[in-house]
Amino acid sequence: METALITGASSGIGLELAKLFAADKSSLILAARSADKLEALAESLRRQHGVTVRVLPTDLTRPEAPQQLFDELARDGIEVDVVVNNAGFGHRGAVADVPLQRQLEMIQVNISALTALTRLFLPGMLARNRGGILNIGSTAGFQPGPFMGVYYATKAYVLHFTEALAEEVATTNLRISCLNPGPTKTGFADVANLGQARLFRLGSMSAETVARIGYRGFRRGKVIVMAGFRNWLLVQSVRLSPRFVVRKIAKALNT
């Protein structure tokens, strides 16, 4: 019986991934700030799929949260086979204008909490030689992003961290993947103040579609999972274009 921990599971891609894991009869641990939304999702998954679902309301902007989450599960003897680091957020605005605390919280959730949860649960996976890590990155991680500089930089970290980890455990049975969505219909754009930006006005994918692509890629052991051909094509164009052109295009899309 596989047990999967999913952060940011109360909505969007995290919620859709929870449905996919539950459909495959994985036991679930759902973590997010919204206890009410988590409980409603947990009850739905239990009823529909007959799986065990545990809810852990968690605020990953707190530096101590990952260790507390790990310790609580360890005390109850729960072994986590798969960690889905989905929690994360962005904020549009110039570096000089976005409140410093907001930028530091972004780094805490997108980078520090993801790294901590990976490090805490990875030794157990290695000892059992099963399971893996699914990190949610972004096409933002493949280029700099003026007016979303911190967010784009955090997603570059997620991408590179995942690739490095995949090589470190390449001789084991663990699966290590980074799902890279582009604009997606979730609450992300509202939180990030991106609703009117050109990036989202050009179109977005459904969270259900993105989650399905990521889930399949993870199960197949793909390290870099691109959410759709359009996003794959975007990343290829970034690799072939001069850096100053890439910066200016990203700037235009974020305004």
Which residues form the catalytic set? 151
Query: What DSSP designation does 109 have?
Result: I
Q: What are phi and psi of 215, to 5 degrees?
A: -65, -45
Burial of 138 (0-12, 13-18, 19+ CB in 10 A): buried
CA distances 21 to 83, 134, 219, Å, are: 12, 12, 11
Is the separation of the CB atoms in 63 and 107 below 8 Å? Answer: no
Quote the CA–CA distance of 86 and 31 in Å, as a whole number. Answer: 10
Quote the CA–CA distance of 207 and 249 in Å, as a whole number. Answer: 25
Paired tokens of 4: 């999967």
Is the separation of the CB atoms in 83 and 118 below 8 Å? Answer: yes
